[in-house]
Amino acid sequence: MAEIKYCYRHPSRETRVSCATCDRPICTECMRQTEVGIKCPEDARLPRSARAGVMKTNQILWSLLAGVAVVLLGLPVAYLASQFGTGSLILCGLGGYGAGLLILRAGGRNGGPVAMTIAGVAVALAFLPFVGPRLLEGNISPFAILEPIVAIGFAIYNSRGS
Ligand SMILES: [Zn+2]
Ligand SMILES: [Zn+2]
């Protein structure tokens, strides 16, 4: 059974609900329904500007979806890159450039660490099936290591936002 708590604004009222942000117990009269759960009146009132630079939940979801798309679209690009020689660095650069832009736009153009992480991981995952085994065998040319690094670099750079 859940522990019985008392509303922090009304110490005589029992409640089992607490604020999603500060975790203080709140009674049914005090709780505010927000898009990210039940909150105390103080946290529900926080202006949007207090969260500036941080992506909203749906923007993170869109970024993750874009990340999945980047992995799927990146697989053939990474495969082609692994088949060709010198020209493939340009292909990797363009691929990473596009991947970064896609993830930045999907995330509402906020950019920042979340978008950059998604971009980097998504591009790395696209290269993994082609570069990973060779890397493990130690049978890889410096050039083949450079390809994913170029692509990941462009993707992270482009998703950084302003
Ligand atoms: Zn609170
Ligand atoms: Zn209360």
Q: Is residue 100 over pLDDT 90?
A: yes
What does residue 155 show for φ and ψ, rounded to 5 degrees?
A: -65, -45
Query: Are 98 and 130 contained in the same domain?
Result: yes
The protein residues having their C-beta less than 5 angstroms from ligand 1 (an ion) are 19, 21-22, 40, 43
Kindly state whether residues 82 and 120 are assigned to the same domain.
yes
Last residue of one domain, picked from the residues 50, 71, 86: 50
Q: What's the pLDDT at 118?
A: 95
Q: Do 113 and 57 sit in the same domain of this protein? A: yes
pLDDT at 52 over 50: no
113 C-alpha vs ligand 1 centroid, how far in Å?
A: 26
CA distance 92 to 94: 5
Q: pLDDT-derived band of residue 134, with 50, 70 and 90 as boundaries?
A: confident
Distance 17 CA to ligand 2 centre (A): 10
What's the pLDDT band for 143 if we cut at 50, 70, 90? confident
DSSP state string for the chain: -PPPEE-SS-TT-EES-B-TTT--B--TTT-EEETTEEE-HHHHT--GGGGTTS--HHHHHHHHHHHHHHHHHHHHHHHHHHH-STTHHHHHHHHHHHHHHHHHHHTTT--SHHHHHHHHHHHHHHHHHHHHHHHHHT---HHHHHHHHHHHHHHHHHTS--
CA 7 – ligand 2 centroid, Å: 5
Q: Tell whether 74 and 15 lie within a shared domain.
A: no
d(CA 48, ligand 2 centre) in Å = 24
Number of domain units in the chain: 2
107 lies in the same domain as 136: yes
Is residue 143 located within the same domain as residue 107? yes
Find the domain containing 38 and state its range: 5-50
Distance 49 CA to ligand 2 centre (A): 27
Both 119 and 59 in one domain: the answer is yes
- The confidence score (pLDDT) of residue 138 equals 85
More confident residue, 50 or 70: 70
Ligand nearest the Cα atom of residue 45: 1
Predicted local confidence at residue 1, as pLDDT: 53
Q: How far is the CA of 13 from the centre of ligand 2 (A)?
A: 7
Domain match, 67 and 143 both: yes
Do 105 and 66 share a structural domain?
A: yes
For range 28-44, the mean pLDDT: 90
| 89 has a pLDDT exceeding 70 | yes
pLDDT at res. 96: 96
Distance (Å) from CA 8 to ligand 2 centroid: 6
63 and 37 both lie in a single domain: no
- In this structure, the answer to whether residues 66 and 140 fall within a common structural domain is yes
What the block records as the tokens of 57 is 């939940």
Given a cut of 60, is residue 53 above it in pLDDT? no
Quick one: pLDDT band at residue 35, thresholds 50, 70, 90?
confident
Q: Do 87 and 146 belong together in one domain?
A: yes
